[in-house]
Amino acid sequence: MKVIKSAVLLFLLVISAGCDENTLYKAYEDIEDGLWYVNKKYTFQFEVTDASQPYNLYYLVRNAQQYPYYNLYLTREMKGPDGKTVFSRLDEMYLSDQTTGKPRGSGLGDLFDHKFVFQRNFLFPGPGKYTITLTQSMRQNPLPYIMGVGLSVERTPVAVP
């Protein structure tokens, strides 16, 4: 019985240690069969209650080692609570070294996870629900071996003097 209680306690400690109090929102979508079609959009919706706080916004990308390119172009569009576009932009990320082909990101087997910042110290125009839509903007359709995509919105850590 002590062993079970100890195991449950250890499990709860590990879970609570993995929680980041600075994370406002984090979501991830698996891409069916690892084939991302140009017309497939992934939408993430979150609520901002404190618009005076700066945030860092990140892309989360998972790819298989067989991904045929070193880079990935994503288009992002953010809409505010009023439905108007806050920003829209095309971004390029490097999933592997373009010279050596060595995968970047953290890997387990042939899968690699990446976290790319696309906005630093961003101040939302006001409180409310925001929507970010991601689409792939590569020339290949479907784009193979992209296994998932996501979004993380994190409060910018306050510097301690």
Domain ranges for the chain: 23-155
The pLDDT value given to residue 21: 86
| Contact present, 36 and 136 (Cβ < 8 Å) | yes
**So what's the architecture of 23-155 in CATH?**
Sandwich (2.60)
Q: What is the pLDDT of residues 88-103, one digit of tens each?
A: 999 999 999 988 888 8
Instruction: Find out whether the peptide bond into 142 is cis, omega within 30 degrees of 0.
Output: yes
Task: Answer whether residue 3 shows pLDDT above 80.
Answer: no
pLDDT band at 157 (very low <50, low <70, confident <90, very high): confident
Instruction: Dump strand ranges (E) for the chain.
Output: 23-30, 35-36, 42-48, 55-64, 71-79, 85-94, 106-108, 111-122, 128-136, 143-144, 146-155
The pLDDT score that the predictor gives to residue 16 is 40
Mean pLDDT, all residues of the chain: 88
Classify the phi-psi angles of 131: left when phi > 0, otherwise alpha if psi is within -120 to 50, otherwise beta: beta
DSSP type of residue 103: B
Q: Is the pLDDT of residue 28 over 60?
A: yes
Residue 14 has φ and ψ, to the nearest 5°, of: -65, -45
Give the per-residue pLDDT at 10: 38
- The per-residue pLDDT for 13 is 39
| Mean pLDDT across 145-150 | 98
Q: Does the pLDDT value for residue 119 go beyond 90?
A: yes
Torsion sign across C-alpha atoms 38, 132, 58, 118: positive
The letter for the amino acid at 47 is E
14 pLDDT tier (thresholds 50, 70, 90): very low
